[in-house]
């Protein structure tokens, strides 16, 4: 298990560096790293510090957040289908962000953007937890998730279609698929603090989630307070998914794939799966973001396209398993 | 209901009258449904000849002739409303909805399409063609002479430095576009050429920063925010571009004589 964490950390570090060194300008490696550290007003340090660094940081943070919340939601709902993108939490966050942008709130106060997305995500995850709960079966969860994501997607499209701005309607695809292109350090400062707080809250549920694997009654007997756990999880998820979606759009499947891939390696214990999934999510998103810049360098290929190509086959695999033997 | 029928009858009569006219006669009820042809038509049409212009022509953010356009009834480019105006000539752009144009032609209305003018010769052709369509050849000749004189006066001294055009979603324009032509006439070298860009296409922000232009001309921002326009506020852009970033406005939109104002604005 320690080997797994070391390998994951090394992978994340390597991919972070790859993200910093990948771009259309094809900058020389030693000079660009020196420019990144030294700074300055010449074009090279500006590209490294203002364009590539925020992109790499956001790739790391958003990926880690999505992996972490995916693992936590799967642990709490005791359902391998739970994932912020799939069940509409990211969609609700996108709706909140779009509302903040189109009402002009985010112009008046930059913080309104992550806060509105946070509120959207909180409503989404709150609804889901209330409807599905730790005892809810897959059908309840998926039905609730489909309903919430359809409603959030329609709301986002409606708001953008009604906008007086000629570019707004084209942005539906960003809010549905996500992208890290041309984000600035401002976005990093807006998203990172609430996401860190959310990560602390979510990681604090590790022991309780371990206990919950034994069943609700057993967990209660072991001193786990169900309402406290629920609140920490709802708040933690909203604090992570809301700001992440506000700056990067709704990126799906990261929170689904990573816990599934890593679960066998950590003995299915949530306490180990949570941090491992955070590292795995960061690695997957950084890799996807490097790939979108290499596959079609002159187009802003959306991140969600790549994560769906990786994630959808896994989803089909899950259906296959359901067909061949009872519960997922 | 009766009013409707009567209206339909007048429409029919007007259409029949138009069809009965000899081919060479100037059209008497002209409807323009494209922002750029609107402006040329307003500049050249005889009093009462132009019946309607597009609603975009009345928008001061896009149309340099918004005040004049306000005097005309506006159309929103739908076949139904244009048919009811009983035109004997409809002028559209080549990118006007094909279904609308086909529908109007199917109803027996003459529709002429004007391609977007991307350079000065194309603007000259458009003026001449509009004059011929409206039967106002003399007016077109005068306008052409005025345009050539203004253009000669507006041209800047060559080699005034390197400039970049940058719009929402990271688009730039190369030399084969109207904006590129304006930039060139003002005496600037377009950095899009350094990357082999001749049309309007995306230019990654980091390539723009690495090019280090002397002057930056950005697209106008619209009411209601969009993420696509947020790139124009990116700190990297303000770090490399000099403070006096110019914004493309309504004089940059269409290939009309107003482009000379855009050239002068770059001085």
Residues A198-205: what's their mean pLDDT?
A: 96
What are the residue ranges in chain B where pLDDT is below 70?
1-24, 242-244
Per residue in A235-294, pLDDT (tens digit) is: 999 999 999 999 999 999 999 989 988 988 898 789 999 999 999 999 999 999 999 999
- Quote the CA–CA distance of B75 and B81 in Å, as a whole number: 7
Q: What is the pLDDT of residue A277?
A: 96
Closest-CA residue in chain B for A40?
B239
Boundaries of every domain in chain A: 2-324
**Widest pairwise Cα distance in chain B:** 69
Contact present, A100 and A94 (Cβ < 8 Å): no
Q: What is the pLDDT of residue A284?
A: 95
Per residue in A292-303, pLDDT (tens digit) is: 999 887 777 889
Closest CA to A300 of A182, A188, A168, A167: A182
> What does chain A come to in residues?
328
Closest-CA residue in chain A for B210?
A43
Q: Do A25 and B234 touch (CB under 8 A)?
A: no
What is A2-324's CATH number? 1.10.3470.10
Q: Do B225 and A101 touch (CB under 8 A)?
A: yes
Q: What is the pLDDT of residue A328?
A: 42
DSSP-based three-state secondary structure for B210:
helix
Give ipTM to 2 decimals: 0.79
Q: What is the pLDDT of residue B21?
A: 46
Given pLDDT bands bounded at 50, 70 and 90, which one contains residue A324? low
- Quote the CA–CA distance of A31 and A21 in Å, as a whole number: 11
Contact present, A250 and A178 (Cβ < 8 Å): yes
Residue-range domains of chain B with CATH: 2-151 (3.40.50.1980), 162-265 (3.40.50.1980)
Q: What is the pLDDT of residue A173?
A: 84
- Quote the CA–CA distance of A35 and A43 in Å, as a whole number: 10
Q: What is the pLDDT of residue A136?
A: 62
Residues A75-99: what's their mean pLDDT?
A: 89
Q: What is the pLDDT of residue A325?
A: 52
Q: Which of B168, B202, B236 sits opposite A298 (nearest CB)?
A: B202
Per residue in B89-119, pLDDT (tens digit) is: 999 998 888 889 999 999 999 999 999 999 9
- Quote the CA–CA distance of B258 and B65 in Å, as a whole number: 9
Residues A82-107: what's their mean pLDDT?
A: 90
Contact present, A124 and A235 (Cβ < 8 Å): no
Q: What is the pLDDT of residue B240?
A: 78
Q: Do A24 and B206 touch (CB under 8 A)?
A: yes
Percentage of chain A beyond pLDDT 90 is: 52
Burial of B157 (0-12, 13-18, 19+ CB in 10 A): exposed
pLDDT(A120) > 90: yes
Residues in CB range of A226: below 8 A, 6 or more apart: A134, A216, A219, A220
* Prediction pTM value: 0.83
The half-sphere exposure of B27 on its side-chain side, counting CA atoms within 13 A, is 26
Cβ neighbours of A163 in B, within 8 Å: 224, 226
Residues of chain B whose beta carbon is less than 8 angstroms from a beta carbon of chain A are 168-170, 201-202, 204-207, 209-212, 222-231, 234-236, 239-240
Cβ neighbours of A247 in B, within 8 Å: none
Closest-CA residue in chain A for B236?
A50
- Residue identified by tokens 């066998």 is A264
Least confident of A5-9, A79-83, B56-60: A79-83
């Amino acid at each position: 298990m320690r080997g797994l964490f070391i390998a994951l950390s090394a992978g994340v570090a390597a991919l972070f560096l790859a993200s910093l060194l990948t771009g259309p300008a094809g900058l020389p490696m030693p000079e660009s790293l020196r420019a990144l550290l030294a700074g300055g007003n010449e074009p090279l340090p500006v590209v490294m510090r203002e364009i590539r660094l925020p992109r790499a940081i956001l790739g790391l943070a958003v990926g880690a957040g999505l992996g972490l919340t995916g693992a936590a939601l799967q642990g709490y709902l005791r359902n391998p289908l739970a994932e912020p993108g799939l069940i509409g939490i990211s969609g609700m966050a996108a709706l909140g962000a779009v509302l903040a942008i189109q009402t002009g709130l985010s112009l008046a106060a930059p913080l309104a953007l992550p806060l509105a997305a946070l509120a959207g995500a909180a409503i989404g995850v709150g609804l889901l937890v209330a409807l599905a709960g730790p005892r809810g079966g897959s059908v309840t969860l998926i039905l609730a998730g489909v309903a919430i994501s359809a409603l959030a997607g329609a709301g986002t499209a409606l708001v953008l279609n009604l906008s007086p701005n000629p570019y707004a309607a084209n942005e539906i695809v960003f809010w549905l698929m996500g992208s890290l292109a041309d984000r600035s350090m401002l976005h990093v400062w807006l998203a990172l603090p609430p996401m860190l707080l959310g990560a602390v809250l979510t990681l604090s549920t590790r022991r309780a989630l371990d206990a919950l694997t034994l069943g609700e009654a057993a967990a209660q007997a072991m001193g786990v307070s169900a309402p406290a756990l629920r609140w920490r999880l709802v708040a933690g998820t909203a604090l992570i998914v809301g700001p992440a979606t506000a700056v990067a759009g709704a990126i799906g499947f990261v929170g689904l794939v990573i816990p599934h891939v890593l679960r066998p390696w950590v003995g299915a214990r949530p306490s180990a799966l949570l941090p491992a999934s955070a590292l795995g999510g960061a690695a997957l998103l950084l890799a996807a973001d490097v790939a979108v810049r290499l596959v079609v360098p002159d187009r802003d290929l959306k991140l969600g396209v790549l994560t769906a190509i990786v994630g959808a086959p896994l989803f089909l695999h899950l259906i296959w398993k359901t067909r061949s033997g009872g519960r997922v | 209901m009766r009013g409707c029928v009567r209206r339909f009858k007048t429409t029919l009569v007007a259409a029949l009258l138009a069809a009965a006219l000899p081919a060479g006669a100037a059209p008497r009820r002209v409807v323009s449904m494209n922002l750029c042809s609107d402006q040329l038509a307003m500049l050249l049409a005889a009093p009462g000849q132009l019946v309607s212009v597009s609603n975009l022509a009345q928008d001061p953010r896009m149309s340099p002739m918004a005040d004049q356009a306000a005097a005309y009834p506006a159309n929103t480019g739908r076949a139904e409303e244009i048919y009811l105006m009983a035109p004997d000539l409809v002028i559209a752009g080549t990118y006007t909805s094909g279904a609308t144009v086909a529908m109007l032609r199917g109803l027996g209305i003459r529709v002429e399409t004007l391609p977007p003018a991307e350079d000065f010769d194309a603007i000259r052709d458009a003026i001449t063609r509009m004059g011929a369509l409206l039967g106002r050849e003399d007016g077109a000749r005068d306008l052409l002479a005025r345009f050539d004189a203004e253009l000669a006066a507006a041209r800047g001294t060559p080699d005034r430095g390197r400039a970049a055009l940058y719009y929402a979603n990271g688009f730039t324009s190369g030399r084969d576009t109207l904006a590129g032509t304006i930039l060139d006439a003002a005496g600037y070298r377009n950095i899009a050429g350094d990357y082999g860009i001749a049309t309007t296409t995306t230019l990654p922000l980091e390539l723009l920063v690495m090019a280090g232009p002397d002057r930056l001309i950005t697209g106008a921002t619209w009411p209601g925010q969009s993420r696509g326009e947020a790139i124009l506020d990116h700190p990297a852009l303000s770090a490399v571009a000099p403070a006096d970033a110019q914004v493309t406005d309504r004089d940059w939109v269409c290939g009309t004589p107003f482009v000379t104002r855009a050239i002068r604005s770059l001085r």
